[in-house]
Amino acid sequence: MSEKYLPLAATIAVFLILFVAGGLLYNNFFSTLVIGDILADNAFVIIAAIGTTFVILSGGIDLSIGSMIGFVGVVMANLDAAGWHPLASAAMMIAFGAGFGALQGFIIDFCEIQPFIITLAGLFLLRGACFMINLDAVPLRHPFVAAFADASLPLPGDGFLASSAIVMLVALAAGIVIAHWTKFGADVYAIGGDRASAALMGVPMRRTIVKIYALGGLYSALGGVVYALYTSSGYPLAGQGAELSAIAAVVLGGTLLTGGVGYVAGTLFGGMILGLIATLINFNGSLNGAWIMISGGLLLFLFIVLQRFLVGSLRARSAT
């Protein structure tokens, strides 16, 4: 197998190992019901993480994801109360997400300010906007929401794919196509791999960077839409910490934080690993949130050390 697939293979392997371990430890674990639940519960984070994958592939970072999720939900809830159809407000919020992301990308490139700081400001801005609109959760009452929550596709076995999971899989497919079958996708990988070379090879830098963050914002907004529909409410604290989960999902999925290497598909598995760990702990019952955090950190650590050695050996191979 080509060595470039190694990190992705490692991720899938870890996922399978965890899943099998769960099946051995608990009854009822080894079923598509569990898988369906994991997908449904974590769909919104994985969707946002898909967008983040592009940002990280280009060597950047986006901390405003979680706040965008909350903001989108809150706005949708208020529009719902004003009589809007959820799909209309969803479309508007997705457009907003793209625009906000584009603005962040523009500032990052034009003012030459680090993405960390600008998207951090974005995090505060959107979260603050959430609070300014609503302090408490606001329900979404439009009948479409209930219909959406009920819609599902049956899976072989007991399980089923909830609508949120279906949206996530479609978004994932779109992301994979964009990453590997468009000029834009190739440019993203080039910028992340070697920025100076990419410029010399003719990649339009500013345009591409703006597009990258716009895409990230679009996916974050989509994640917010899915979350709002899934929970039938707009909650100002929604998505808090989601940016970290998204980044973790991307890194666990085999994408390097330095950029240029990674697969969008890996993010799916990275997110599912995070969900699987949470489920395993839930099944146990006696363990608690503490173990989720500790094991999350441990996994991250192991993966990064593995990544370092992989990258190091790649570099040593071609060193002068």
Options 23-31, 39-47, 201-209, 223-231: segment touching other proteins (CB under 8 A):
201-209
Provide, rounded to whole angstroms, the least separation between the CB of residue 110 and other proteins.
6
**What residues numbered 47-66 form the site for other proteins, per CB under 8 A?**
61
Options 28-36, 37-45, 167-175, 187-195: segment touching other proteins (CB under 8 A):
187-195
Provide, rounded to whole angstroms, the least separation between the CB of residue 241 and other proteins.
9
DSSP letter for each residue of the chain: --GGGHHHHHHHHHHHHHHHHHHHHSTT-SSHHHHHHHHHHHHHHHHHHHHHHHHHHTT-----HHHHHHHHHHHHHHHHHTT--HHHHHHHHHHHHHHHHHHHHHHHHHTT--HHHHHHHHHHHHHHHHHHH-SS-EE---HHHHHHHH-EEE-SSS-EEEHHHHHHHHHHHHHHHHHHHSHHHHHHHHHHH-HHHHHHTT--HHHHHHHHHHHHHHHHHHHHHHHHHHHTEE-TTTTTTHHHHHHHHHHHTT--TTSS---HHHHHHHHHHHHHHHHHHHHHSSS-HHHHHHHHHHHHHHHHHHHHHHHHHHHHHH--
Decide whether 171 or 188 has the Cβ nearer to other proteins. Answer: 188
**Binding flag, residue 5, other proteins (CB under 8 A):** no
**Binding flag, residue 293, other proteins (CB under 8 A):** yes
**What residues numbered 228-257 form the site for other proteins, per CB under 8 A?**
244, 247-248, 251, 257
Decide whether 17 or 117 has the Cβ nearer to other proteins. Answer: 117
**Binding flag, residue 316, other proteins (CB under 8 A):** no
Decide whether 48 or 90 has the Cβ nearer to other proteins. Answer: 48
Q: How many chain residues touch other proteins (CB under 8 A)?
A: 73
Decide whether 126 or 268 has the Cβ nearer to other proteins. Answer: 126
Of 82, 143, 285, 320, the one binding other proteins (CB under 8 A) is 320
- The Cα-based distances of 212 to 27, 52, 252 in angstroms read 44, 9, 21
Judge contact between 271 and 77, C-beta under 8 A.
no
Pairing of strands 233-234, 138-139: antiparallel
**What residues numbered 115-174 form the site for other proteins, per CB under 8 A?**
116-118, 120-125, 127-129, 131-132, 135
Of 187, 209, 222, 229, the one binding other proteins (CB under 8 A) is 187
Decide whether 24 or 200 has the Cβ nearer to other proteins. Answer: 200
**Binding flag, residue 176, other proteins (CB under 8 A):** no
Provide, rounded to whole angstroms, the least separation between the CB of residue 107 and other proteins.
8
**Binding flag, residue 281, other proteins (CB under 8 A):** no
Provide, rounded to whole angstroms, the least separation between the CB of residue 227 and other proteins.
20
Provide, rounded to whole angstroms, the least separation between the CB of residue 152 and other proteins.
31
Options 24-32, 181-189, 210-218, 227-235: segment touching other proteins (CB under 8 A):
181-189
Give the three-state DSSP class for 160. Answer: strand
Provide, rounded to whole angstroms, the least separation between the CB of residue 279 and other proteins.
17
- The Cα-based distances of 241 to 39, 56, 58, 244, 247 in angstroms read 19, 17, 22, 6, 10
Provide, rounded to whole angstroms, the least separation between the CB of residue 127 and other proteins.
5
Q: Which residue has the tokens 């989720």?
A: 292
